[in-house]
Amino acid sequence: MDPSGKVALVTGGAGGLGRAFAKALLTAGAKVVISDVDPAVGQKVVEEFESEFGKNKIIFVKADVTKSSELEEVFKAAKSTFNRLDIVINNAGIMRDCVWEKQVDINVKGVVYGLLLAYKYMGKQNGGAGGVVVNLSSLAGLETTPFLPIYCATKHGVTALTRAYGDSVHADVTGVSVVAVCPGPADTPLMNDAQQYLLHDYLAPVLAEAIKVVGTYNKPEFIAEGLMRAIREGESGSLWLVHDGDISQVTMSVQKK
């Protein structure tokens, strides 16, 4: 989908990647609704982008993605403010195995709520015009990350949701394409604070070693380039790995003998 003239909703839009996604979408000529649990930072992002891109192109609505009714208010605000909704980025997420139940709620339940609301507000079967949903999975949603076992499971869940809902069984009826962006480690608070939120003390040196091996983290602007490729070119169900200068589609399948 060409984002120009479209309306996009970004959850977790006050954070490192969400902010970069909002900027890339505005640059491409879309209008943007950002939502987040942090209204102070969310409002600041809106003010910054209003001075760069002009008024009436971006709004902030506070919502916790683990509360479907709150998240629904963001969808309603998109429709009532900009009269349409075309792109939903299920981006809000945390990487904190030490509060794993909350992490499962945000990373998995929040994405399911976002998907179901996208069908309600954009699905052709409900009188909508169709659209694109982008779920934020991760390199950890494709490979195992033993130092973050539960985060890794949530991101594999997001990958699975994308592949299942991305199937034509759904897309042909709803007109909603579902794709995933799978970033490698990126320079945001989520990654930079990772050491504080491990589940087991013995994992600290393992994470420190993994960080050393990775070296430089991906810039949020580069991950946003991957997001825009996924929106523009992604077929429903596609998974976009964005890491180390490379933006490419990955396939996952089990070969039958």
Ligand X SMILES: NC(=O)c1ccc[n+]([C@@H]2O[C@H](COP(=O)([O-])OP(=O)(O)OC[C@H]3O[C@@H](n4cnc5c(N)ncnc54)[C@H](O)[C@@H]3O)[C@@H](O)[C@H]2O)c1
> Taking CB under 6 A as the rule, which mask of x and - marks residues 186-215 in contact with ligand X?
x-xxxx------------------------
Exactly one of 94, 133, 178, 241 binds ligand X (CB under 6 A); that residue is 94
Are 155 and 138 in contact by the 8 Å Cβ rule? The answer is: yes
Nearer to ligand X, 26 or 186 (CB): 186
Nearer to ligand X, 106 or 115 (CB): 106
Long-range CB contacts (within 8 A, 24+) of 79-85: 79/121, 81/33, 82/7, 82/31, 82/33, 83/7, 84/6, 84/7, 84/129, 85/7, 85/9, 85/121, 85/122, 85/131
- DSSP structural state of residue 12: T
Stretch near ligand X under the rule CB under 6 A, chosen from 23-31, 51-59, 86-94, 116-124: 86-94
Residue 226 touches ligand X, criterion: CB under 6 A? no
Exactly one of 138, 174, 236, 238 binds ligand X (CB under 6 A); that residue is 138
Exactly one of 1, 27, 28, 38 binds ligand X (CB under 6 A); that residue is 38
Please state whether beta strands 239-243 and 87-90 pair in parallel, antiparallel, or not at all (unpaired). Answer: unpaired
Per annotation, catalytic residue among 113, 119, 151, 165: 151
Residue 17 contacts by C-beta under 8 Å, 6 or more apart in sequence? 91, 136, 183, 186, 188, 220, 223, 224
Exactly one of 65, 74, 132, 153 binds ligand X (CB under 6 A); that residue is 65
Residue 140 contacts by C-beta under 8 Å, 6 or more apart in sequence? 148, 151, 152, 155, 156
11 closest CA partner among 22, 3, 2: 22
Active site residue 217: no
State the Cα–Cα distance between residues 3 and 232, nearest whole angstrom.
Answer: 7
Residue labelled with tokens 């997420």: 93
Rounded to a whole number of angstroms, the minimum distance from the CB of residue 163 to ligand X is 17
Exactly one of 15, 128, 226, 237 binds ligand X (CB under 6 A); that residue is 15
> Taking CB under 6 A as the rule, which mask of x and - marks residues 96-115 in contact with ligand X?
----------x---------
Exactly one of 185, 226, 234, 237 binds ligand X (CB under 6 A); that residue is 185
Determine the 3-state secondary structure of 176 from DSSP: strand
Are 187 and 141 in contact by the 8 Å Cβ rule? The answer is: no
Rounded to a whole number of angstroms, the minimum distance from the CB of residue 256 to ligand X is 31
Rounded to a whole number of angstroms, the minimum distance from the CB of residue 5 to ligand X is 26
Nearer to ligand X, 106 or 230 (CB): 106
Q: Which residues bind ligand X (CB under 6 A)?
A: 11-12, 14-18, 36-38, 64-66, 91-95, 106, 136, 138, 183, 185-186, 188-191
Which amino acids are annotated catalytic? 151
